[in-house]
Structure 1
Amino acid sequence: MNPPPQQQQLPLPLQSARDQNEAQVGEPVYERFRKQRPLTFEGDTDPLIVEEWRCSLEKIFDFMKLIDKEKVACAVYQMKNNARIWWDIVKRTVHVNTLTWTGSLELLNSKYYNANILDAEMDEFQELKQGNSTVIEYAQKFDQLSRFALGLVATENERKRRFMKGLRSDLAKLVDAGEMGPCTYA
């Protein structure tokens, strides 16, 4: 009987993220998290900054395959200044040891995504025009603000129509005539 063949060890970049995590079991979660260079959050009330912070953390959380308790701890670690003060107040009224990531997002949303701010972002999206911006700058602003107006751009056609509505008229005519670019927004 032949002995079983030995498994070949893949180079680290070719191993799955889960394999890499398992290989680093002895390393504390916060150290592995810090190595990903997560953004900090200082309590800014601009929803775009809050959204960027949240998305950047979730990207790292997915990569590291963290559980809820680890996600909350890592997020709190990245809070500075006003955000940290707010969290210290939250800890007095909420059982943070049992808090899920979804629960912490609900708290964050209630603080930093109040109705007035969301309405202002929606208004800014509805009034967005290219003006003197380049098409790329306009498209980036369109994408950023559209996250707060998903009901207005739920389909590709609605998205394209809104985008075209804000384009400078000389460019919109070229696109409409088929002289520029693809027929989809993306």
Structure 2
Amino acid sequence: MLNRAQTSAFIGAAALVGGLVWAPAAAAGTTGPQSCPPDVWYKVVTHKPGYETIGKTAGKYNASPTTSRLTYEKSSTTTKETSWGAELGGSVNWGIAEVEYSTNYNVVKKFEKGTKVTNWMNVPGKHSGYTTPKIQRRKFTIEKWQDTANCSARFLGNMGTLKGITVAPFFAECTVSGARECTPKP
């Protein structure tokens, strides 16, 4: 086995005498021209939203022939929190940061009971109008991936699942003709 100095001397001598020169083999531990560094990265998978009420429904019948305004102003009746289900690690704060960095969603960590919520809704004449305060909760799965030496990606597992509050509060509304009730959706 030749050391570095001997290899350089051998190549130099071969070049001087016009002999065939072979490139030395890559040193142990180095990779070929298509190699990629083994970087670890995260992918956020977004799921469909769900909705949860945070207060009572308000409604009224507008007996007049013209539009009237329904005003809802109350305090929320429940506390809602973003949660983290760890599989490979992380925390709720890490999950929120990763989701906000990787998507267009802002995640609310907690919506407190007793928070004042206000909505105004126009109810057409001879109609009933109803409104309900809600939050939107969306599930995010955070996957852990690693680049391989041949530049493909290898799935390492799920870091966990964030059940994040993405809108808080918002108001579901509905109107129906006559003095009937309707259920605000979503």
Give TM-score scaled by structure 2 length: 0.19
Q: Which has the larger radius of gyration?
A: 2
Larger helix proportion, structure 1 or 2?
Answer: 1
Larger strand proportion, structure 1 or 2?
Answer: 2
Highest RCO, 1 vs 2 (Cα 8 Å, sep ≥ 6)? 2
